Amino acid sequence: MYRLAIFDLDGTLADSLRDLAEAVNNSLASFGYPTHTVEAYKYFVGNGAKKLCERALPEDKKTDAEIQRLLTHFGEYYSTHCFDHTVPYDGMQDTVKRLTEAGVICAVASNKPDDFSQIVVERLYGSGLFSLVRGKRDGVPTKPSPDIVYDICRELDIPSGEAVFIGDSCVDVQTAHNAGLPCIGCVWGFRGEQELRDSGCDILAYKPEELFDLIRR
């Protein structure tokens, strides 16, 4: 049994794609730029809010100043609309609860800004299920850098060899492997089975309920 289960947030614990897409599209439209389908945002997210905004901008507008302008507008809008449609994936709340009751320590490692990560986890999962929530913080590289994993293991005083990473994208698989952890890929997330397989994911889960046995085996 793994002692520590580290979960990605968006696309793994939280079905948040529509709110992310609508927040960026609102910002793009405000600046007179073309918007994108919700489906397109599956491939824009994953590397943090700044990269999300960069990917959404027109090719000839991807300057540092314009990325920052869009990022600021996006943050202001998203802060009041991040729960318009965002919900936990069916079965995830019960699965995390079962894991904690079985003695598995659960944590969150996200590229979403740290303040938003804390708010989303608290709103969707309450307090007590996750021992530690870490989002993007100043001075700490985003995933797939392993720094966030190392920080979580250190703060919880658990060797990385007793941890597993759970995520839905190539970024999560790379993060896990960069940190020397196995990765369980969530097929229900934003990116799907093929990307997880192509990224070298160690184990696939097709529904949240499967995670309990995969983590405790």
Can you give the pLDDT at residue 157? 98
* pLDDT range class, residue 58, cuts 50, 70, 90: very high
Can you give the pLDDT at residue 217? 79
**Owner of token pair 């001075």:** 139
| Catalytic annotation present for 84 | no
What mean pLDDT, rounded, does the chain reach?
A: 97
CA distance 17 to 41: 7
| 196 contacts 78 by C-beta, under 8 angstroms | no
Q: Over range 175-189, report the average pLDDT.
A: 98
User: What's the token pair of residue 214?
Assistant: 């995969």
Q: Which residues contact 204 (CB under 8 A, 6 or more apart)?
A: 184, 185, 187, 193, 196, 197
Amino acid at 26: N
Could you read off the pLDDT of 9-46 as tens digits, one per residue? 999 999 999 999 999 999 999 999 999 999 999 999 99
Is residue 111's pLDDT more than 90?
A: yes
Percentage, residues of the chain above pLDDT 90: 99
The conformation of residue 203, written as its DSSP 8-state character, comes to E
Amino acid at 144: P
Can you give the pLDDT at residue 184? 98
Is residue 165's pLDDT more than 90?
A: yes
User: What's the token pair of residue 184?
Assistant: 């369980």
Domains 4-15+87-216 and 17-81 belong to one CATH topology: no
Q: Provide the 3-class DSSP secondary structure of residue 180.
A: coil
CATH 3.40.47.10 fits 17-81, yes or no: no
CATH architecture of 4-15+87-216: 3-Layer(aba) Sandwich (3.40)
Catalytic choice (8, 10, 19, 147)? 8
Percentage, residues of the chain above pLDDT 70: 100
Question: Where exactly are the structural domains of the chain?
Answer: 4-15+87-216, 17-81
User: What's the token pair of residue 163?
Assistant: 């941890």
Phi-psi region of 82 (alpha: psi -120 to 50; beta: other; left: phi over 0): alpha
